[in-house]
Amino acid sequence: MADCLCTRYARATEWAALAGARWLGRADEEAAEDAAASGMKSALDELPIEGEVVIGARTGETLLPGGTVGAGGQRVDLALDPIEGRAVVARGGVGAMAMLAVAPEGALRRLPDMYMRSIAVGPRARDVIDLDRPVAENVQKVAESFGRQPLDITALVLDRPRHHDLIEELRSAGTRIKLIGDGTVTASISAAIRGTNDHLAIGIGGTRQAVLTAAALRCLGGGMQAQLWPTTRTQIDAAREIGVEDISHVFTEEDLAPGDVIVVATGVTNGDLLRGVRFMADSARTHSLIMCMRCNWVRFDDGIHFFARERREEVRLLG
């Protein structure tokens, strides 16, 4: 696919990661995200696209929802998170990444900013999950899809008070549980990639994370189910204003991110999936994931970015 831009989109997440990683452990979430958003926008504005930001940054003035980016050309929808897990960066934690999803114009599902409850799995279990079934039944079905018992699989859950009952249900089901501080999209991707020893991501997160997760899982062959979880009457009305008449409707990954999608992500801090940015004397190293349904590939990319023409360091193999 000589005319596909998927590998060029990686520059956007790389620049975002390089900028955001400078704020590691400095207790300023907004500054980290603003820096990452500026880096991402600079790269996107060089691409031959006219991209509408459907899901964008939460703060600042850059890459906000409804804005456009690109140098002009192919019309696309963009769902992005300059730093997925910005609180992780602020406290110097693990598992943060810069992320971008690209879809044909008008493809990405527009949803109001509210909670969604969801379950996400990899290819083996995508046909056995059912959000309307009890948690224990889903755990059992996922375990059976791997030829295992529940105690041999791992569920990823965001460590929040709202998940107290869910965690107790998972414990009663006999599965192992990994509590995460942030990064629900990262968790869902991890559950869809073998070698991470994670098998399902479950819980209540935001609509923005649900759409990004859906795009990533479509590239990986995984599956998800998600349902709006409004907490006020205003949120119910907002959903109906954009065409969601049935609040209890269960969305799948294809409902949220149809078409040939591209998803790229670059590690900001070290995690199970991607290595974080490593700064050296006159360069920095990034580790990225590039997934493209059109090219039908998933690529891990290791890049070295030099800060000056005159180089003092030799290129080293990844170790």
Pair (124, 99) in one structural domain: no
Number of domains in the chain: 2
| Same domain, yes or no: 178 and 250 | yes
If asked whether residues 182 and 120 sit together in one domain, one would say yes
237 and 198 within one domain? yes
Is 2's pLDDT higher than 80? no
| Alpha helices, H only, the chain | 6-20, 29-44, 86-91, 135-145, 164-173, 184-191, 207-220, 233-241, 253-256
Overall average pLDDT of the 97-118 stretch: 95
What is the average pLDDT score of the chain? Answer: 94
Domain coverage including residue 147: 115-256
53 pLDDT band (50/70/90 cuts)?
very high
- State pLDDT tens for residues 164-177: 999 999 999 999 99
| pLDDT class of 308 with cuts at 50, 70, 90 | confident
Same domain, yes or no, for 73 and 25? Answer: yes
**Domain annotation covers residue 316:** no
Share of the chain above pLDDT 90, in %: 88
Mean pLDDT of 308-313: 80
Domain at 61, CATH number: 3.30.540.10
Task: Indicate if 86 and 124 belong to the same structural domain.
Answer: no
Q: What is the pLDDT of residues 227-253, one digit of tens each?
A: 999 999 999 999 999 899 999 999 999
> Is position 205 within any domain?
yes
Rounded to whole angstroms, how far apart are CA atoms 36 and 98?
Answer: 8
Q: Is residue 282 part of a domain?
A: yes
Q: Taking residues 202-230, what's their average pLDDT?
A: 96
Same domain, 191 and 271: no
Residue 313 forms part of a structural domain = no
Both 61 and 47 in one domain: the answer is yes
Beta-carbon count within 10 A of 268 CB: 35
CA 113 to chain centre: 16
Let me know whether 243 and 290 are in one domain: no
pLDDT of 122-158, one tens digit each?
999 999 999 999 999 999 999 999 999 999 999 999 9
Q: Is residue 314 part of a domain?
A: no
Whole-number CA gyration radius for the chain: 19
Mean pLDDT, rounded, for 285-309: 94
pLDDT at 288: 98
User: Do residues 129 and 122 lie in contact, with contact meaning Cβ atoms separated by under 8 Å?
Assistant: no
Q: Could you tell me if residue 301 is inside a domain? A: yes
Q: Cα–chain-centroid distance for residue 88?
A: 14
Looking at the structure, do residues 179 and 74 belong to the same domain, yes or no?
no
Residues 129 and 11 in one domain: no
Please tell me whether residues 250 and 269 are part of one structural domain.
Answer: no
What's the confidence (pLDDT) of residue 318? Answer: 73
